[in-house]
Structure 1
Amino acid sequence: MKKKISLLGLSLICGLTAINAQASGLQKVNASYVSSDYAKTKYPIVFNHGMFGFSRLGTSSLGVDYFYQVLPDLARNGANVYATQVSPLESTEVRGEQLLQQVDEVLALTGAPKVNLIGHSHGGPTIRYIEIVAPNKVASLTAVAGTIKGSKVADDILNNKAANLVLTIVGQYLVAPLETLLEGNPNLPNNLNRSLQSISEKGSTEFNAKYPSAAIPTDCGNGQKVTSNGVYHYSWTGTAQITNILDIADSAISQLAPLSYKNSDNDGLVSRCNTHLGQVIRDNYYQSHLDEVNQVLGLKGLFAPNPVDLFRQHANRLKLEGL
């Protein structure tokens, strides 16, 4: 009898594990009211977070979204919008395959043939992976401070054994698992070195050589806005580090790139030119790397642009392009 119960328990555990492993983590963001159709694009808008990112920690009533206050605002302005959930720390290919599953889910739910993809930081190369493997499912790509050509911060950490060890212990074994647990998808894999290699300048150069795109400029200018596969490409970024003295976490993180690059032509984690993809909307907003997604909790510079406004305006841009 005990053996049967044990086998049953094991079966249930394996079954639950399988269910969790297959759970995509896709979140549909709805609004309690719709005030306009200003952001009502032809195709759904799908957001993808960056390294150490998340879709939402907690519940819709008691939680924090990665793109803080952005998606609900778009929904109130008519957008059909989704947040995706991929591994906080993994390679572009692993994250990309996770994202592809959720893109397919959006297409099945909406009946739309394509989606507009928006990715922040490592989300930039991650959404580019979808264009590489399934260009017919992509209407547009928008990289917000995307690590399109990588971040030297990652190269430096990979080359520093002490920093790598500390970040592995804290990031891979504590922070990232806690994030996936709070997201309700604890079985998402995490690997710091694969993540760092993917967003490093060396790894990004190799990735872009393997999967070239006319949307990636060879210099610090614009890439091709619409490539031969019909996909539209956009990008923007900031060039600030400390924008609000109350935002201690953001200010601390944003000192990494100035140390690596020995200059402030970056948003604290990614250099300005390395974020360019397609049409560069602007590359010098008074924003740090976390300001760009309205973190932490909406704290920003006094005269800085409102990130929520920028995303709303971009959704309207996509709408006017027929996307």
Structure 2
Amino acid sequence: MNDTPITTKYPILLVHGLFGFDRIGTFDMFHGIVTALENAGCRVHVPVLSSTHDNETRGEQLLEQIDRFMNRTGYLKANLIGHSQGALTARYAAAVRPDRVASVTSVCGPNHGSEVADWVRRALTPGALPERQAARLIRGFSYFLSLLGGTTDLPRDPVRALDALTTNGVEQFNRRYPQGLPDEWGGEGPERVDGVNYYSWSGCLRDTLLDEGQNAFDPLHLALRSYALLFEREAEHNDGLVGRYSSHLGKVIRSDYPLDHMDAINQTAGWVRSDIDPVQLYVDHAGLLFRKGL
């Protein structure tokens, strides 16, 4: 590892996705990542957003927090790194206020939708009892997380969150905010649009549990492997929630790291494969932003 300080021109904001939070007690969502980036020389902030809501609502919340952070610190722009739905949230902020955003990096972002969200939406008849029951359960769970994280004042809407992550929902979102998207499936998008740099990286499940090391004992990993069975279009190439090519945005750093969807934020609490260090991926990416003058 290079010991040269990585002092990016603009601060890095880590944007959480569905059911996300900044910190609950001593447990942080981006496990070990904030500390590693700060130790490398970066200024880092984790905005607190609605744990369940649509991309635009969360995007407006992000813009408000960017403005407050900028007014407090004097910075003119921010580098946004969004995990999962956080990538769509960051894309909205960059599209609406490119003057406030230096770069957007999508980490396992469903930039063309999630096949798992499609399956859940098909299983829930709109307006019928199953949907209402599921919404009630999800709303209660997100409220519980918000209560622990001290963010109960933020709105939550699990049904709108689900719709915003389906292939159809993201397709509509992409028509309004196409910045950084590839022209063809599986390709790369433009690296720079409206003065904002766009990047993406993501992972794929390995073939068998025997390839996973201690990750094979992580309950979240086992759950993601079960979700992977719901994929059709990207059945062989997904992280358990998002397909490899669905994650592509802007300059693709790599989309087949040996990571599941939660490994990408070093969860559960660092239980990841021994041959990959997700924390170092963030530090390396900060180095890229530094070299780009961002």
TM-score by length of structure 1 reads 0.83
What letter is aligned with 1:275?
S
What letter is aligned with 2:205?
A
* Structure 1, 70-79 or 236-245: larger mean CA deviation: 236-245
Larger RCO (CA within 8 A; separation ≥ 6): 2
The answer for the alignment partner of 1:153 in structure 2 is 116
Structure 1 portions without partners, runs of 5+: 1-34
Q: For each residue in 1:259-284, what CA deviation from the matched residue of structure 2 results, as whole angstroms up to 9, or x when unmatched?
A: 23272310000000010011100010
Structure 1 residue 166 displacement after superposition: 5.3
Q: Distance in 1 between matches of 2:4 and 2:73?
A: 18
2:152 corresponds, among 174, 177, 186, to: 186
| 1:58-77 → structure 2 map (5 Å cutoff) | 58=25, 63-77=26-40
The answer for the alignment partner of 2:12 in structure 1 is 45
- The SS at the match of 1:283 is strand
After superposition, the Cα gap between the structure-2 partners of 1:276 and 1:110, relative to the gap in structure 1 and judged at 3 Å, is same
Q: Distance in 2 between matches of 1:100 and 1:68?
A: 24
Q: Distance in 2 between matches of 1:218 and 1:124?
A: 19
Structure 1 residue 36 displacement after superposition: 5.4
1:233 corresponds, among 198, 203, 206, to: 198
What letter is aligned with 1:320?
R
After superposition, the Cα gap between the structure-2 partners of 1:52 and 1:130, relative to the gap in structure 1 and judged at 3 Å, is same
- The SS at the match of 1:260 is coil
The answer for the alignment partner of 2:250 in structure 1 is 278
| 1:217-228 → structure 2 map (5 Å cutoff) | 217-227=183-193
What letter is aligned with 1:201?
T
- The SS at the match of 2:117 is helix
Q: Distance in 2 between matches of 1:153 and 1:159?
A: 10
1:176 corresponds, among 123, 142, 146, to: 142
Structure 1 residue 301 displacement after superposition: 1.4
Q: Distance in 1 between matches of 2:260 and 2:236?
A: 11
Structure 1 residue 38 displacement after superposition: 3.0
Structure 1 residue 286 displacement after superposition: 0.4
The answer for the alignment partner of 2:289 in structure 1 is 318
The answer for the alignment partner of 1:247 in structure 2 is 218
What letter is aligned with 1:291?
D
| 1:1-323 → structure 2 map (5 Å cutoff) | 38-58=5-25, 63-161=26-124, 164=131, 167-173=134-140, 175-227=141-193, 229-240=194-205, 243=212, 244-261=215-232, 263-303=235-275, 305-323=276-294
After superposition, the Cα gap between the structure-2 partners of 1:37 and 1:185, relative to the gap in structure 1 and judged at 3 Å, is farther
Q: For each residue in 1:119-163, what CA deviation from the matched residue of structure 2 results, as whole angstroms up to 9, or x when unmatched?
A: 000001100011121110010000000011110111111111287
* Structure 1, 240-249 or 287-296: larger mean CA deviation: 240-249
Q: Distance in 1 between matches of 2:5 and 2:236?
A: 35
Q: Distance in 2 between matches of 1:245 and 1:257?
A: 15
Q: Distance in 2 between matches of 1:42 and 1:199?
A: 32
Once superposed, what is the RMSD of the aligned Cα atoms? 1.7
After superposition, the Cα gap between the structure-2 partners of 1:215 and 1:38, relative to the gap in structure 1 and judged at 3 Å, is farther
Q: Distance in 2 between matches of 1:104 and 1:260?
A: 39
What letter is aligned with 1:51?
L
Structure 1 residue 218 displacement after superposition: 2.5
- The SS at the match of 1:86 is coil
What letter is aligned with 1:82?
H
Paired residues, what number?
282
What letter is aligned with 1:53?
G
TM-score by length of structure 2 reads 0.91
CA contact (8 A) 2:119 2:230 kept: no
- The 4+ residue runs of structure 1 with deviation greater than 4 A are 162-166
Q: For each residue in 1:81-109, what CA deviation from the matched residue of structure 2 results, as whole angstroms up to 9, or x when unmatched?
A: 00111111100011111111111122112
Structure 1 residue 80 displacement after superposition: 0.5
Larger Rg, first or second structure (1 or 2): 1
Structure 2 portions without partners, runs of 5+: none
